[in-house]
Structure 1
Amino acid sequence: MNLLHLKTLIPTQEYEAKVQSIAWSPNNKKIAVCTSDRLVIIFDENGERRTRFSTKPSDSKNDGNLFQVRGMAFSHDSIKLAIAQSDNIIFVYKIGESWDEKVVICNKFPQKCPVTCIAWPVNQPIICGLADGKVRAANTRTNKSSTIYNADSYVVSISANITGKGFISGHADGKIIRYFFDDDGSGDAQGKLTTHPTAPYALAWAGSTILAAGCDKRIYVYNREGKLVQQLDYSKDESEKEFTIASCNPSGHVVAFGSFNRIRVLSWSPRKGGWDECKLKEIKNLYTITAIAWKQDGSKLVVGTYCGGVDLFDCCVKKKLYKKIFELNYVGPSQVIVRNLKSNNTIVLQSKFGYEIDDVKVMGKNRYLVTHTSNTLILGDLRENQLSEVPWSRKNPKERFYFGYDKFCIIFGSGELYVIEYGVNEVLGSVRTEFTTPFLISVRVNERKSSNNCTCKKIAYMLDLKTIAIFDFITGSNVAHVSHDRKIDWIELNETGQKLIFRDKKLQLILFDIETGVKVMLLNFCYYVQWVPQSDVIIAQSKDSLCIWYNTESTDRMTSIPLRGGDITDVVRQNGRTEVLINEGVNSVTYALDDSRIEFGTAMDDGDLERAVSFLESLDVTPETKSMWTKLGFASLKAGNLLISEQSFASLGCVSKSRYLRQTRNLLMENKLSKSNVQACIAILEKDFRAAENIFLSQNSIEDVIKLYKDLLKWDDAIEIAEAKNWSGLDKLKKAYHHWLTETGQEEKAGDLRQKDGDFNGAVTLYLRAGVPGKAARLALIEPEISSDRVLVERIIMSLTQCELYEKAGELYQNLGQSENALRCYRQGNCYQKAIELARISFPSNILQLEEEWGDYLVTKQQMDNAINHFIEAG
């Protein structure tokens, strides 16, 4: 690491004028310097002085010269500046984004003793150390502060880790204490980490190590457990003085220590797993360094001294010129700043895992960065300023990068295809394929918003020359396989990943619907085919015709336009116009497509239903527009847009649906329906009654559920709900059901209901009235209440005999003890088994006669073998 002096921001004085603190804003645009007279001067990133303001004492009645500024820290958005003062207070100044904004105090945090140091971690409260040993958190939202812990020893330093999720504090008695807001699953312990031999005024938390130094002229390196793992001893150098301050660059791989006339820089070596000392920067008459701050990208360092000097240094390991267009500034082993010399745009290339960057390449028309480390691969989009770092142990000189997409990169190597999304630090997915031609691969990653707002991350690729596989990266599974009888030479998914078009070697064009699995032949001869950008419209060339499918749901409705020779070269959609570019040899001509028809498909996919309605209203009613109205009607119903649903079904002539939706919408406008009830009404319209029931019950609207099932004549469901919820109107509901059943001539069903309620007499009466005496007899046999009523039983028997149900009549007679009548009924019903069983008990002399009658009966049924057995029994 080399330090090159760039500029003196404030010249050194010939007397004591200690620079009390320096802070560099996270957005790199502001450098705040607090001078000895408590004046805060703000410079821009180039070191030009832009504005200044004076700090205020905690009490306006006190002398403004009686306090010192102990530290400053910017907020994460660079709009606010926290200043810690020795007069027991922290002020937070709002300095704004522009240089013209007025500086105002927006927060005050009074303390009980002097504030000694301060830090403001990312997305966390302000952290301050006090002279009494307490470390406190100050929340700018609530304007309140609270104690995190008390070490009972003067706090000399505070340093946050690079993620902002933890910090360490150094104390006068040598203690170093660690605290986590969130340990990111590391499992590291909180509390006292170690005891340093001296007060650690120079303290930095750099990655997985903690560096501390003080008046003993030694730099100690501690690991996560607080054990000493490295020591740099300068105590034998008589020219060396004590270390006064330390600061870690934002990457956590470089730490600068300040002492008298010297800046020592340590650089982390990933390969060695330790800290290397860089070239010493010694400046005569610099005097003791009292403040240090890094630029957020680690390319610059600003230092302040005891005599009031403030200097700006450039920090780099090496610089390279790449392709005479890009400057590569290596500011650390794992960080490179890439600057476009033409546009002056910069991007910070950094390994988030701390690995050393080997090389940097700019590819893909000078837009994309490719960098390998020992264990990862870093990809970057210079235009969008997006970086991705993914685990990569597959470094292969034969690997090929394809940058034909804006949102992701495709990498081919060793028979495998990898997809990496820019800005995402993990491989999106990989598939095995030997076919790496871009024409045989199609990847879609959230290229267009769909109506259901589903995320689309899919790839279509070739398993073999005749088989296409479609893989969903989100679910990690294949969603479809497409087999074809000829070799395939071109494939492409639509932007929502729901449909696929492919062409075979015989130039046949086929459309495949992924959801339904249906293949449709579009053309027998196709030169050129493409999806129109930002739509589901297909254009293709078949000999001298331009073929267009505006609605892929109606593939039989193709629009054909004759061409005057030439070949289609591209489809361009911009400024509200869609044009097909055709090369006719010497001339290039364009054919405009019907943007209004494209508009409908795009509007539906984007969920812009109003735009879809406006388009359809301008068209005449045709079978194709009817299918569009149907699609719009159900889509708007799903989206809960009743007005558009009503209009759609009205246009289709569905009067009942349209009237129902209007009634529902009017109730909603009159505040007679809640939004949840509207969802229930939509569920009813879609005949999803269980969903409607769940919605009503979630609001405890039992009456609405019962009314729904009554209107649908689902009385059993209504009674079931009423019983489950112990509804007060259950009896009234049952009476209404009985009345309805009897009015509609459903006496048998009414009898079942009476039986369920325990009204057995009423049930028998209804069964007899309904002409089902068998049910009445079954009930009489099992219920003593019925069998004891002789008159009622006689009625049942009479009805049974009239219906020639002699077996049941016999059972009832037998149950009443009327054996003769029972035997008679069994004979009439040819139930000889039961007749013989009864005769063995009551009429033994009749058994032989019954056996003979049984044999005669079986003869009439042509069951001769069985009849012989009974004749033998009869003698």
Structure 2
Amino acid sequence: MLLKYLGTIMPAQELENKVVDIAWSPNNLKLAVASSDRTIYLFDENGVKRDKFSTKPVDVKFGKKSYMIKGIVFSPESTKIAVGQTDCIVYVYKIGEDWGDKKVICNKFRQSSAVTCLIWPVEAKEGPIIIGLADGKVRAALVKSQKAQTLYTSDAMTIALASNIRGNGFISSHADGSIIRYYITENDGAEPSGRVCVHGVPAYALAWSQSHILAAGCDKRLTVYDSYGKPVKIFDYSRDPEEREITVACCSPSGQSIAVGSWDKIRILDWTPRRSVWEETNVRTLPNFYTITALAWRRDGSKLVVGGLCGGVEQFETILRRTVVRGSHEVAYVGPSQVVIRPLNDSSQRSIVVRSQTGLEIEDVRVLGRRDNNVVARTARTLLIGDIELGLISEIPWENRSGSGEKFFFEYPVVCLIFYSGELTIVEYGQNEALGSVRTEAVNPHVVSVRVNERPSIGGIDNKKLAYLLDPRTVRVIDLLTGATISVIVHDARIDWLELSETGHRLLSRDKRGRLWLSNDTGGR
């Protein structure tokens, strides 16, 4: 992973003004920085300051400086910010969608002791805010119901929280070295909730990648544990006289890179899928930056923001390599299994993130379609297909290692047709299983018709049908949901064009003799 310096977001001061926490909004458009002056500063995606607001104590009679901010986090829809404070409360501020919108407190969650850390898992749209407390409790606060409950209690103070990549679970580290795992939702096949391991020192730097847990603290050692709590790799910096305690860690959105902060230094650890090992791939020294106190990775994996002890905030671009495809799109490889595709000719069109859910390395990316609006990416065992405008990506199993012979058709708004080796595969954007697959020798899209929910049905029932050629004179219409045959229509001449009606109840076909046939779903015509 390369770190390219982009610029200073907030300049450092000549005195201590600790950056307490940094948070990127899930939609990648806003950056929030919490400082020890109890103010939250808001920046746009380019690091330009656009707004700020001051936080409030739980009780004014104790003074406006009677508390400290311990953590901030954006809501999944990017319109709220949760703020954890040492005066035993979590405030949720509604900041709105536009810059300058009035900041109002919409939720208050009182706690039994001081808040030490908090996270808000992004993938769980209606999920809770996870709060760590000084008395060892880990609690869940539900914004919708405005209620909170204790998930579990430890014997020592909670010092760090980290969510997994899917957002359905998290881990907590405590002052006695304990690292505890907890799943918010049911996860079939996952490891059970409970204590994973006991780290040698309190793990202030904590990260949960795809299948490993990283923990580090004042002993200057980075330990990588597997899902069962067994150490699989140790990076020992204790013999380096210039090294100091490791203070913070942050996992990339793909789960294949981890940024670790210490004194005047950022380290990048990368997961190598082909070798199945963690390696230190980059060390960036920041002279006179002092202790790194906060790290935040942008949700698309393209930027890393670093905060320090004296209030300085710096921004870095995090990429492996960058290419331009068809002269219209920039492809930035931000991890082995994740790329960001950004249109070059249309500034209004947002970038799209293509990530392999299997963790396999993306080997090739192509932009296709008449309007350069579709993307096809390939890994060793899967194929990723998506629509850039819709922002939907599908990943299906695919064993064609040569990467040649397929024909892709993107004429339909919600599905892609793939012809390969005498087989037609239909992929619906956003679904990680093929919608259907049939055998046919016809590779002409004019003799294939797909209808997927093009006209709303009564009761909202899915309507997904396919018409294709069994042979040059025979049309088969099937239900893609069940795979059942709806009708088989035989002609006395070769068919060169066909199309289903919006609901799939009628079929219009043309033969080589110039005759146009209209058939219903029972085969009558």
2:450 counterpart of 1:447? no
How far, CA to CA, are the matches of 1:450 and 1:15 in structure 2? 65
How far off is 1:336 after superposition?
0.9
Q: 1:397 is matched with which residue: 392, 397, 404?
A: 404
Distance 2:238 2:37 in 1: 34
Indicate yes or no: 2:391 matched with 1:355: no
In 1, distance between residues paired with 2:459 and 2:31?
47
2:3 aligns to what? 3
Identify which range, 452-461 or 192-201, moves more after superposition.
Answer: 452-461
CA distance in 2, matches of 1:510, 1:110: 71
Q: Give the C-alpha shift of residue 453 in structure 1.
A: 4.9
Residue 318 of structure 2 corresponds to: 315
1:417 paired residue among 406, 420, 424 = 424
* SS of corresponding position for 1:162: coil
Question: Is the radius of gyration larger for structure 1 or structure 2?
Answer: 1
Q: Is 1:127–1:136's contact at 8 Å kept on the other side of the alignment?
A: yes
Aligned pairs for 1:361-376 within 5 A: 361-365=366-370, 366-376=372-382
Q: Following superposition of structure 1 onto structure 2, how do residues 819-830 of structure 1 map, counting pairs within 5 Å?
A: none
Cα distance, 1:297 vs structure 2: 0.7
Report Cα offsets for 1:139-194 as digits up to 9, x if no partner. 22333322111111011101111222111100111100011112421231111011
Higher strand share: 2
The amino acid across from 2:16 in the alignment is E
TM-aligned CA deviation for residue 305 of structure 1: 0.4
Q: 2:219 aligns with which of 205, 216, 219?
A: 216
3-state SS, counterpart of residue 278 of structure 1:
strand
The answer to whether the aligner puts 1:378 opposite 2:384 as a matched pair is yes
Offset of residue 332 of structure 1:
0.8
* C-alpha distance in structure 2 between counterparts of 1:195 and 1:454, whole Å: 51
Deviations, residues 99-139 of structure 1 (Å, cap 9, x unaligned): 22111222222222211111112332111111111111222
The secondary structure found in structure 1 opposite 2:435 is strand
Tell me the equivalent position of 2:94: 94
Shift of 1:510: 2.1
Provide the C-alpha distance between the structure 2 equivalents of 1:254 and 1:310, rounded to a whole number of angstroms: 21
Mapping 1:15-94, distance limit 5 Å = 15-94=15-94
Tell me the amino acid that sits aligned with residue 288 of structure 1. T
CA drift of 1:451 comes to 5.6
Distance in 1 separating the partners of 2:470 and 2:147: 63
Distance between the aligned counterparts of 2:404 and 2:430, measured in 1?
A: 25
SS of the equivalent of 2:156 reads coil
Give runs of aligned pairs for residues 289-368 of structure 1, distance below 5 A: 289-344=292-347, 345=349, 346-365=351-370, 366-368=372-374
> 3-state DSSP class of the match of 1:61?
helix
Task: Classify the secondary structure of the residue corresponding to 2:228.
Answer: coil
Matched residue type, 1:12:
A
Partner SS state of residue 397, structure 1: coil
CA distance in 2, matches of 1:368, 1:141: 37
State the one-letter code of the partner of 2:231: L
Cα 1:92/1:383, change in 2 over 3 Å? closer
Q: Which secondary structure state, in structure 2, belongs to the residue aligned with residue 20 of structure 1?
A: strand
Alignment of 1:722-741 (within 5 A): none
* One-letter code aligned to 2:166: T
* CA deviation map 1:644-699 (0-9, x unaligned): xxxxxxxxxxxxxxxxxxxxxxxxxxxxxxxxxxxxxxxxxxxxxxxxxxxxxxxx
Q: Which amino acid aligns with 2:388?
A: L
Q: 2:158 aligns with which of 155, 160, 165?
A: 155
Unpaired segments ≥5 residues, structure 2: none
Secondary structure at the counterpart of residue 37 of structure 2: coil
> Could you tell me the TM-score, scaled by structure 2's length?
0.95
Quote the residue 2:479 is aligned against.
472
Distance between the aligned counterparts of 1:74 and 1:507, measured in 2? 61
SS for the counterpart of 2:15 is coil
CA drift of 1:47 comes to 1.0
Among 500, 503, 523, which residue is 1:496 paired with? 503
1:448-597 matches, within 5 Å, as: 448-450=455-457, 453-514=460-521, 516-519=522-525
Distance 2:117 2:166 in 1: 19
Identity within the alignment, % = 49
Contact conserved, 1:154 with 1:171, CA < 8 A, in 2? yes
Letter in 1 for 2:290: Y
Query: Counterpart of 2:61 in 1: which secondary structure?
Result: coil
Q: Which piece of structure 1 moves more, 55-64 or 137-146?
A: 137-146
| Counterpart Cα distance in 2 of 1:315 and 1:187 | 30
> 2: distance between equivalents of 1:151 and 1:471?
57
CA displacement at 1:478 relative to structure 2: 1.6
Question: For residues 143 and 242 of structure 1, do their structure 2 counterparts lie closer, same or farther at Cα, with a shift above 3 Å needed?
Answer: same
Q: Could you tell me which residue of structure 2 aligns to residue 270 of structure 1? A: 273
Q: Which residue of 173, 198, 209 corresponds with 1:206?
A: 209
The superposition leaves residues 250-280 of structure 1 with CA deviations (integer Å, 9 ceiling, x where unpaired) of: 2222211110111111122222223232221
Report deviation, 1:66. 3.1
Contact 1:73-1:120 at 8 Å conserved across structures: yes
Aligned-residue offset at 1:440: 2.1
- For each residue in 1:531-574, what CA deviation from the matched residue of structure 2 results, as whole angstroms up to 9, or x when unmatched? xxxxxxxxxxxxxxxxxxxxxxxxxxxxxxxxxxxxxxxxxxxx
Tell me the equivalent position of 1:258: 261
CA distance in 2, matches of 1:444, 1:321: 34
For 2:112 and 2:181, how far apart are their aligned partners in 1? Answer: 23
Amino acid at match of 2:24: W
The answer to whether the 8 Å contact 1:124/1:164 transfers is no
The letter for the 2-side match of 1:401 is: F
The residue type paired with residue 35 of structure 1 is S
Alignment map for 1:621-700 (pairs within 5 Å): none
Correspondence for 1:235: 238
8 Å contact from structure 1 (residues 222, 229) kept in 2: yes
Q: Secondary structure at the match of 1:439?
A: helix
Structure 1 position 319, deviation (Å): 1.0
Contact 1:69 1:85 in 2 (8 A): yes
What displacement does 1:290 show? 0.3
Give, in angstroms, the shift of residue 452 of structure 1: 6.8
Distance 1:504 1:325, change over 3 A: closer
Classify 1:103/1:358 alpha carbon distance in 2 versus 1 (closer, same or farther; 3 Å).
same
Distance 1:506 1:347 in 2: 46
The reply to whether residue 136 of structure 1 matches residue 143 of structure 2 is: no
- Counterpart contact for 1:166–1:183, Cα < 8 Å: no
Of 433-442 and 169-178, the range deviating more from structure 2: 433-442
| Equivalent in the alignment of 1:730 | none
The 8 Å contact of residues 20 and 68 in structure 1, kept in 2 or not, is answered as no
Aligned residue identity for 1:15: L
- The higher-RCO structure (CA 8 Å, 6+ apart) is 2
Give the Cα separation in 2 of the matches to 1:194 and 1:453: 48
Equivalent residue of 1:90, what SS? Answer: strand
Measure, in 1, the Cα distance between the counterparts of 2:64 and 2:74.
23
Cα–Cα, structure 1 residues 133 and 271, in superposed 2: closer, same or farther, change >3 Å?
Answer: same
Q: Deviations over 1:689-736 (max 9, x none)?
A: xxxxxxxxxxxxxxxxxxxxxxxxxxxxxxxxxxxxxxxxxxxxxxxx
Distance 1:110 1:177 in 2: 23
Q: Name the Cα RMSD after superposition.
A: 1.6
SS at match of 1:427: coil
Q: How does 1:430-441 map to 2 (within 5 A)?
A: 430-441=437-448
**C-alpha displacement of 1:343:** 0.5
- Note the C-alpha offset of 1:67: 2.0
Cα distance between partner residues in 2 of 1:453 and 1:54: 47
Q: Shift of the alpha carbon at 1:486?
A: 2.7
TM-score (norm 1): 0.58
| CA shift for structure 1 position 316 | 0.8
Q: Secondary structure at the match of 1:518?
A: coil
Deviation at 1:195, TM superposition (A): 0.7
CA distance in 2 between counterparts of 1:451 and 1:195 reads: 56
Residue 372 of structure 1 deviates from its aligned partner by 0.4
1:23 aligned partner, one-letter code: A
